[in-house]
């Protein structure tokens, strides 16, 4: 393709792996790095079978060298610092004028630190956390909320389009991460209410399919209701975004709210309930497993 670019992708997990695959499928030259070598090798072989122009690197710095754009999608602030800012990190190896795009959900402070480091090296940076879960990554329908300069966004957006259905430039560095915090607070509140609603309907002995049909067409409707009602009723909680990661995200959001002098009692309660699910061994279940914390009650 005429507009193909040399890109690096660091972090090939359940989100990053499919996103990097979309970049390869779009015709970009992708050099990837993942801390777990076996996962990187599996990704590499799968992309080769599809005809992708892909390579693996031994370190983040080697992946980033000579890249037009470096993408990261790792775990948290510490993980991002290790692949971006450490001795073998990406930023130190990037050529002047290159673009750094981070898809990790991290703190707004980390996003601002990354941009400061990038600017000092003559680089551009965008914090670009995503929403849409594993299915969104696989299907290329993620929503991306971005922070950074207009020039950085102008360069990043056309490339990100291969795995996104919505890309919004929210504001300056850190704004994308703060928008993602708002996103996670919304999800926490919706899942709290949805969990209680399902338990109420079950305890009252209602037909769960008919109850869903009755309430999903009105003001109670949500993405979580449409996609998780039936699986929550069935006790199925293997849909990608784990409670462990949700608690990490909520931790950033609650801390940011506190720094702004805001109260977040609903989200704080949901976070505590998630902590109890974790303690019971449910940390790797998806976020809809919040319902397991609530008693089923006694049906009629």
Written as tens digits, the pLDDT of the chain (300 aa) is: 448 999 999 999 999 999 999 999 999 999 999 999 999 999 999 999 999 999 999 999 999 999 999 999 999 999 999 999 999 999 999 999 999 999 999 999 999 999 999 999 999 999 999 999 889 999 999 999 999 999 999 999 999 999 999 999 999 999 999 999 999 999 999 999 999 999 999 999 999 999 999 999 999 999 999 999 999 999 999 987 899 999 999 999 999 999 999 999 999 999 999 999 999 999 999 999 999 999 887 665
Beta-strand runs (E) in 78-201: 99-102, 124-127, 130-131, 142-148, 164-171
- Of 62, 180, 230, 300, catalytic: 180
Residue 201 to residues 70, 79, 208, 221, Cα–Cα distance (Å)? 48, 42, 7, 16
pLDDT at 240: 74
CATH number 3.40.50.720 is the correct assignment for the domain at 6-172: yes
180 has catalytic annotation: yes
pLDDT at 300: 59
pTM of the model: 0.94
Can you state the percent helix, strand and coil of the chain, rounding each to 5? Answer: 55, 15, 30
Domain ranges of the chain: 6-172, 179-293
Angle at 166 between CA 111 and CA 285, to 5 degrees: 70
CATH of domain 179-293: 1.10.1040.10
């Amino acid at each position: 393709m005429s507009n193909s670019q040399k890109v690096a992708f660091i972090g090939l997990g359940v989100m990053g792996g499919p996103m990097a695959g979309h970049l390869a499928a779009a015709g970009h030259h992708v050099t990837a790095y993942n801390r777990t070598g076996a996962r990187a090798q599996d990704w590499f072989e799968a992309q080769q079978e599809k005809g992708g122009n892909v390579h693996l690197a031994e370190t983040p710095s080697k992946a980033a060298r000579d890249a037009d754009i470096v993408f990261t999608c790792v775990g948290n602030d510490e993980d991002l610092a290790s692949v971006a800012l450490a001795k073998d990190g990406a930023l130190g190896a990037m050529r002047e004028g290159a673009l750094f795009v981070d898809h990790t959900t991290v703190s707004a402070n980390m996003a601002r630190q990354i941009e400061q480091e990038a600017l000092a090296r003559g680089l551009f940076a965008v914090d670009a956390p995503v929403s849409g879960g594993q299915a969104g990554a696989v299907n290329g329908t993620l929503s991306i909320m971005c922070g950074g300069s207009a020039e950085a966004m102008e360069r990043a957006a056309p490339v990100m389009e291969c795995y996104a259905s919505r890309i919004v430039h929210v504001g300056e560095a850190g704004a994308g991460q703060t928008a993602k915090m708002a996103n996670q607070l919304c999800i926490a509140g919706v899942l709290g209410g949805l969990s209680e609603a399902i338990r109420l309907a079950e305890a009252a002995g209602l037909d769960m399919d008919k109850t869903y049909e009755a309430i999903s067409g009105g003001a109670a409707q949500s993405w979580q209701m449409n996609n998780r009602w039936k699986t929550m009723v069935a006790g199925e909680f293997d849909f990608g975004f784990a409670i462990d990661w949700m608690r990490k995200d909520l931790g950033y959001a609650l801390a940011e709210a506190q720094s702004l002098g805001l109260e977040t009692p609903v989200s704080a309660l949901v976070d505590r309930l998630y902590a109890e699910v974790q303690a019971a061994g449910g940390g790797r279940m998806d976020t809809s497993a919040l319902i397991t914390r609530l008693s089923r009650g006694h049906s009629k």
